[in-house]
């Protein structure tokens, strides 16, 4: 059912987005292994095409390409693209240096070059002279000359794009001398064998001298072949290179087994009398080290086999039957890939490292890919569709036939279960997630999450500015604006839910996800504030009805006490469920652990709890008490509201200020969502695996979501405060009861700011305590005064100070707005500044390249706004006081 629905969504997305007859569904959803996880080929293509073209869906010569489509075209007809300008290059000075025009015949600026243009430049004397000059300047002054920095960056970017394109279009049959990966690995193998191992191995008994000579001869032959190949790459034959490399790998494997057998035999043999104990221990140690080095050499030759078929970025489409990547005792310096590349399966030896039973399937996959290539070149869409479906199905059958054998490659004690599961071919459930990932990229939810609020901002602005006499038009514009704002929030919700389903975790693990989650939180809260005149009354009665022993309602004659007693059993059950989840249920890896302990924990070997143990326990009990009381009421309040809704008096008229609250919400949602969407290079929107400490889904959910939700409340208070200051700066100051007063809307805004800050403080307190509990579980201490923790505490104290000042009436409506901005800036520092400006040692999971100038710029703008607003406020109130 789910799979059918997902395929329908993919089909609809394909039809609406492209409206063409070519069906890339099977090709786009083909599982590939990249960046440590199984992903659909569409996701791989997006990453690589973005790297090459600067856009995921590039437009080349007037045609817009899908990522998987242009990748396939690059792979099967690379020569066609050599003279097509698709590599982005806008730097005018570099274009002139390359001898390329800056403008076309129509006067439009040119911004792309072809791979051939780039190759000619990088092989020219002009580039050699430029590179030499820049390098000398860098060595002399420590940096490139200021006037050439942009040009140097453009050269580096163009080189990276060209190399990525060459890696993606690598054809092992015709690659010639362009075998960088093979050359690097062969150099390592040659040095390890010739300079370190060969002299030692020849002196070991039980080692076949013929195998030693075979390995040495193989190294010499490949070395000679590589040297000759540099001169005459047109003489390359794939079969010859395969023959020599596989022979070298076989000889290395045999020698590795022989040396390992000798080392094991020595370890189980008694010491001869003619050798001292010290000499015997030294001999055993040396032989053991030699055995490990020979194993490393053998793995290096297997890497060399892989390098025949790839030269950088490539498609890995099937799990291999190599034991090394799955070995819990593996040498991390050797990077034998756990999957087989498409090039090896299509162009390599017939067996491709698989047993004889799957040879017919391998042949079928080769024929299917060949038919895909032929259909593409012949513009045969139907043939391409059938062949791509056959290719995907065949790979699935091969993976299914080899799965059981893959699990028995190593004994259980040496099997890395985590790696084995992470590199397994997708099951039906995992394939549904891959399909969902393709749909996620097609949908582009976070694009619409800022586009719709932006349009809503326009409608709501006009609705607020139109005269009061145009009541109908204002209501229509307001309704459309609210609908568009709700649509943007729904797209944001869809994007977060899709990311959570695809990755199987809470979508708040990096800076991009926290930004969009803050946008979602601010949007939901803002929409509630905008519609509070409609929703406040029923939810208020619903909240009162969930209180035990509540009194009947006022004049509306709603008996909340009856509803309260009816809901009491449900509330008790929910409270019990919350208590069980937090104190008895097991979470985390392994056997699991309870979130909160009912008694203080004591360190192993200790008698009494330490101060840290008491702190963790007391804070946990505090959180437990709050959640047991609050969570059931939050869940049951909407139910109670439905019960009392028919009996509530109907409101007459509308809320004349609602449009301004909705406008403020639309602005904050637009700004935050657009920041996430526009700065993906800084905030990295890619779906990727987590750091080990973030893999605990429970703590990730409860702590990070709570903290980030508090940021959303703070950001909403911020934009409302900005709105209040702007009104104070440009609005009219009426005389109320003989006293000067700021604009009337400021009072309502102050109330909303106060409520948002209350929510922010509550979530900050709970989130900070939960973070301490997570730290105690993960690192063994509740608090470490890390920069992130310190700034979180500063944010909390700033908000508490502001709220306390408001409560005791030291802060008025205007000063509360100023305080909300100060509180939001501390949140911004804790959220962005620590990771991207200062750098956090323990909590830098979203770290990247940031700028202090951006933070100072935002702070400076708000300092100016506050200064002008304060000046106007003081001047107006004093002037009106004098008049009075």
Whole-angstrom CA distances from 438 to 25, 496, 778 are 9, 15, 34
Angle at 426 between CA 420 and CA 431, to 5 degrees: 155
pLDDT of residue 842: 56
Contact between 263 and 288 under an 8 Å Cβ cutoff? The reply is yes
pLDDT of residue 754: 85
Model confidence pLDDT, tens digit, residues 422-443: 899 998 888 888 999 999 999 9
Model confidence pLDDT, tens digit, residues 563-611: 777 778 888 898 898 888 878 776 554 455 666 777 877 665 666 777 6
Could you give the percent of the chain with pLDDT greater than 70?
Answer: 83
pLDDT of residue 67: 94
First and final C-alpha spacing in the chain: 74
Taking residue 187's Cβ as centre, other Cβ atoms within 10 Å add up to 12
Which are the contacts of 162, defined by CB distance < 8 A and separation ≥ 6? Answer: 87, 115, 118, 119, 122
Question: SS3 string of 697-754?
Answer: HHHHHHHHHHHHHHHHHHHHHHHHHHHHHHHHHHCCCCEECCEECCCCHHHHHHHHHH
pLDDT of residue 158: 93
Q: Give the Cα separation of 490 and 445 in Å (integer).
A: 9
Q: Give the Cα separation of 131 and 223 in Å (integer).
A: 30
Element (H, E) at 87: strand 87-88
Q: Give the Cα separation of 698 and 767 in Å (integer).
A: 13
pLDDT of residue 553: 46
Contact between 64 and 85 under an 8 Å Cβ cutoff? The reply is no
pLDDT of residue 547: 74
Q: Which of 131, 125, 128 is nearest to 151 (CA)?
A: 131
- What's the average model confidence in pLDDT over 305-309? 88
Contact between 538 and 545 under an 8 Å Cβ cutoff? The reply is no
Per-residue b or e along 151-184, where b marks 16 or more CB atoms closer than 10 Å to that residue's CB:
bbebbebbeebbbbbbbbbbbbeebeebbbbbbe
- pLDDT over threshold 50, residue 341: yes
Angle at 783 between CA 778 and CA 787, to 5 degrees: 100
pLDDT of residue 836: 66
Structure tokens, 455 = 């349009």
Using a 10 angstrom Cβ sphere, with 0-12 exposed, 13-18 middle and 19 or more buried, the burial of residue 320 is buried
- pLDDT over threshold 80, residue 133: yes
- pLDDT over threshold 90, residue 364: yes
DSSP 269-289: SPPPTTS-HHHHHHHHHHHHH
Per-residue b or e along 395-414, where b marks 16 or more CB atoms closer than 10 Å to that residue's CB:
bbebbeebeeebeebbeeee
Span of 239-243, 248-252, 288-292, 505-509 with lowest mean pLDDT: 505-509
Model confidence pLDDT, tens digit, residues 166-180: 999 988 887 666 678
Model confidence pLDDT, tens digit, residues 695-732: 555 566 677 788 888 888 888 888 888 888 888 877 77
pLDDT of residue 24: 92
Q: Give the Cα separation of 45 and 315 in Å (integer).
A: 9
pLDDT of residue 481: 92
Span of 253-267, 537-551, 611-625 with lowest mean pLDDT: 537-551
Q: Which of 828, 855, 819 is nearest to 711 (CA)?
A: 828
Q: Which of 237, 423, 407 is nearest to 318 (CA)?
A: 423
- What's the average model confidence in pLDDT over 759-774? 80
Q: Look over the chain and give the mean of its residue pLDDT values, rounded to a whole number.
A: 81
Element (H, E) at 620: helix 611-644
Alpha-carbon Rg for the chain in angstroms? 34
Which are the contacts of 121, defined by CB distance < 8 A and separation ≥ 6? Answer: 97, 98, 127
Which are the contacts of 402, defined by CB distance < 8 A and separation ≥ 6? Answer: 319, 321, 354, 355, 358
- pLDDT over threshold 70, residue 690: no
Angle at 541 between CA 540 and CA 543, to 5 degrees: 65
pLDDT of residue 225: 73
- Its pTM stands at 0.79
Structure tokens, 147 = 């006037």
- pLDDT over threshold 90, residue 655: no
pLDDT of residue 87: 94
Q: Give the Cα separation of 484 and 682 in Å (integer).
A: 28
Q: Which residue has the higher pLDDT, 16 or 194?
A: 194
Taking residue 836's Cβ as centre, other Cβ atoms within 10 Å add up to 22
pLDDT of residue 648: 60
Taking residue 205's Cβ as centre, other Cβ atoms within 10 Å add up to 8
Confidence label for 645 from pLDDT (cuts 50, 70 and 90): low
pLDDT of residue 738: 63
- pLDDT over threshold 90, residue 809: no
Element (H, E) at 210: helix 209-231
Q: Which residue has the higher pLDDT, 245 or 536?
A: 245
Contact between 399 and 319 under an 8 Å Cβ cutoff? The reply is yes
Q: Give the Cα separation of 308 and 295 in Å (integer).
A: 21
DSSP 391-449: HHHHHHHHHHHHHHHHHTSS-GGGB-HHHHHHTSPP-HHHHHHHHHHHHHHHH-HHHHH
Span of 6-10, 400-404, 444-448, 612-616 with lowest mean pLDDT: 6-10
Point out which residues pair with 739 in neighbouring strands.
Answer: 736
Per-residue b or e along 507-533, where b marks 16 or more CB atoms closer than 10 Å to that residue's CB:
bbbbbbbbbbbbbbbbbbbbbebbbbe
């Amino acid at each position: 059912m789910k799979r059918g629905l997902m395929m329908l969504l993919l089909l609809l997305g394909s039809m609406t987005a492209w409206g063409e007859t070519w069906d890339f569904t099977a090709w786009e959803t083909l599982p590939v292994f990249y960046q440590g996880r199984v992903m659909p080929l569409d996701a791989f293509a997006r990453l690589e095409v973005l790297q090459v073209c600067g856009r995921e869906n590039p437009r080349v010569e007037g045609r817009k390409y899908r990522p998987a489509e242009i990748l396939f075209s690059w792979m099967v007809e690379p020569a066609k693209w050599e003279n097509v300008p698709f590599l982005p290059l806008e730097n005018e000075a570099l274009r002139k240096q390359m001898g390329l025009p800056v403008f076309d015949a129509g006067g439009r600026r040119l911004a792309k070059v072809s791979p051939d243009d780039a190759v000619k430049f990088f092989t020219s004397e002009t580039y050699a002279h430029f590179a030499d000059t820049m390098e000398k300047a860098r060595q002399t002054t420590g940096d490139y000359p200021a006037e050439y920095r942009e040009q140097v960056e453009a050269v580096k970017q163009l080189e990276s794009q060209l190399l990525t394109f060459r890696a993606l279009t690598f054809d092992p049959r015709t690659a010639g001398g362009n075998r960088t990966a093979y050359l690097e690995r062969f150099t390592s193998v040659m040095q390890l064998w010739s300079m370190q191992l060969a002299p030692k191995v020849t002196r070991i008994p039980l080692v076949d001298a013929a195998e030693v000579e075979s390995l040495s001869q193989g190294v010499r032959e490949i070395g000679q072949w590589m040297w000759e190949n540099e001169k005459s790459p047109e003489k390359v034959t794939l079969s010859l290179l395969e023959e020599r490399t596989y022979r070298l790998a076989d000889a290395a494997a045999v020698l590795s087994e022989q040396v390992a057998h000798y080392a094991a035999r020595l370890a189980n043999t008694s010491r001869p009398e003619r050798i001292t104990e010290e000499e015997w221990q030294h001999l055993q140690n040396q032989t053991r080290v030699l055995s490990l080095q020979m194993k490393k050499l053998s793995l290096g030759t297997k890497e060399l086999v892989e390098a025949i078929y790839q030269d950088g970025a490539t498609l890995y489409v099937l799990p291999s039957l190599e034991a090394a990547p799955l070995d819990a005792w593996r040498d991390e310096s050797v990077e034998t890939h756990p999957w087989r590349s498409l090039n090896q399966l299509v162009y390599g030896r017939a067996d491709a490292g698989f047993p004889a039973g799957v040879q017919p399937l391998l042949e079928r996959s080769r024929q299917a890919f060949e038919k895909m290539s032929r259909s593409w070149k012949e513009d045969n869409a139907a043939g391409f569709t059938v062949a791509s479906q056959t290719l995907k199905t065949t790979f699935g059958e091969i993976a299914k036939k080899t799965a059981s054998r893959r699990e028995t490659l190593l004994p259980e004690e040496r099997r890395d279960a985590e790696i084995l599961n992470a590199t397994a071919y997708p099951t039906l459930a995992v394939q549904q997630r891959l399909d969902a990932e393709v749909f996620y990229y097609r949908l582009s939810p976070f694009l619409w999450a800022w586009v719709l609020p932006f349009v809503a901002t326009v409608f709501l602005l006009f609705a607020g500015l139109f005269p009061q006499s145009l009541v109908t038009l204002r209501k229509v514009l307001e309704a459309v604006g609210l609908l568009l704002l709700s649509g943007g929030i729904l797209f944001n919700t869809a994007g977060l839910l899709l990311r959570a389903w695809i990755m199987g975790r809470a979508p708040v693990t990096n800076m991009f996800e926290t930004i969009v989650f803050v946008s979602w939180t601010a949007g939901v809260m803002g929409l509630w504030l905008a519609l509070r005149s409609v929703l406040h009354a029923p939810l208020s009665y619903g909240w009162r009805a969930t209180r035990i022993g509540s009194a009947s309602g006022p004049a509306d004659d709603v008996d909340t006490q009856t509803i309260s007693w009816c809901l009491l059993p449900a509330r008790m059950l929910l409270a019990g469920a919350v208590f069980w989840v937090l104190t008895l249920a097991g979470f985390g890896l392994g056997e699991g652990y309870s979130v909160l302990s009912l008694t203080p924990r004591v360190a192993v070997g200790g008698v009494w709890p330490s101060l840290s143990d008491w702190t963790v326990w007391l804070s946990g009990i505090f959180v437990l008490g709050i959640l047991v009381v609050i969570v059931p009421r939050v869940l049951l309040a909407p139910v109670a509201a439905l019960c009392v809704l028919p009996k509530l008096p109907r409101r007459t008229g509308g809320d004349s200020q609602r449009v301004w609250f909705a406008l403020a919400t639309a602005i904050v949602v637009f700004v935050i969502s657009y920041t996430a969407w526009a700065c993906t290079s800084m905030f990295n929107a890619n779906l990727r695996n987590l750091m080990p400490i973030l893999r605990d889904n429970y703590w990730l959910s409860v702590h990070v979501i709570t903290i980030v939700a508090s940021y959303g409340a703070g950001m909403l208070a911020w934009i409302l405060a900005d709105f209040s200051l702007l009104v104070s700066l440009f609005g009219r100051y009426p005389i109320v009861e003989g006293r000067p007063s700021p604009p009337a809307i400021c009072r309502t805004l102050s109330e909303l700011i106060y409520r948002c800050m209350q929510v922010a403080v509550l979530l900050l307190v709970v989130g900070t305590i939960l973070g301490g509990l997570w730290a105690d579980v993960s690192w063994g201490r509740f608090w470490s005064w890390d920069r992130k923790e310190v700034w979180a505490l500063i944010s909390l104290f700033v908000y508490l100070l502001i709220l306390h000042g408001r409560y005791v009436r030291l802060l008025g409506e205007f000063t509360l707005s100023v305080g909300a901005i100060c509180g939001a800036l501390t949140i911004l520092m804790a959220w962005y500044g620590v990771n991207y400006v200062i750098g956090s040692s323990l909590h830098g999971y979203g770290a990247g390249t940031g700028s202090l100038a951006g933070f100072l710029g935002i702070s400076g703008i708000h300092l100016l706004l506050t200064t002008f607003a304060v000046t106007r406020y003081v001047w107006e109130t004093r002037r009106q006081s004098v008049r009075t």
